[in-house]
Amino acid sequence: MRYRHEWKHELSWMDVLVIRQRLRAVAQPDPHAVDGRYLIRSLYFDTLSDGALRQKLDGVNRREKFRIRYYNHDPHVIHLEKKSKLNGLGTKVSATLTATEAQSIVKGDLDWMPLSGRPLVQELYSKLRSGLRPRTIVDYTREPYIYPPGNVRVTFDYDIRTGLCSTDFLNPDCPTIPAGNAPILMEVKWDAYLPDIIRDAVQVPGRHASAFSKYAQCRVYD
């Protein structure tokens, strides 16, 4: 399992304008983006006692969270993902789901999961049987850039919205609202090394690494 380094910074729009200009000179937009960005909708899972949320807020060194995600309102490609953190490094494993499978998980129809042949689906089944449950929708817009040396990925995430307690994430009419006073978030991820050209491009005086969590922000009204 490959762990990646990650920085998070909370930015202003002025910061974004400056960094975007630098990145466009040295990096390239993610080819999967449409007009330089895409929309992300995720459904996050947590326990009845909010174990994942509490671990994040408490800064637990080893933690994991599950989510289901799709892009640009297109439910034809849905990803089940497990993100893990250890000593400040992150890793992610994923499996594909059909819209029918995703909706079954939301509704609690789980009997098909042990026979799916997908280890991550089977792991989620075990966790759901042990108390994990769909918790809330998280929507936002992402503007991504990539830089192949170091396998670097820089993203700006903004317009973060919460579905409150709604889990009907395949419904395009499911209402969401702004997640409090959520900032613009820049994430910088890389493998073994971060090239100096990117390190310099993303620096903004007075901005420091943050532990901001979009999921935690979207629980602001709970």
CA angle 191, 192, 195 (to 5 degrees): 90
How confident is the model over 23-40, as pLDDT tens digits?
Answer: 999 999 998 898 999 999
Q: By the 8 A CB rule, do 146 and 27 touch? A: yes
Instruction: Please check whether residue 11 is in contact with residue 186, taking contact to mean a CB–CB distance below 8 angstroms.
Output: yes
CA–CA separation, 162 and 219 (whole Å) = 8
Kindly report, residue by residue over 177-211, the tens digit of the pLDDT. 999 999 999 999 999 999 999 999 999 888 778 88
What confidence score (pLDDT) does residue 3 get?
87
Q: Looking at the domain covering 5-217, what would its CATH class be?
A: alpha beta
Q: Is the pTM of this model over 0.85?
A: yes
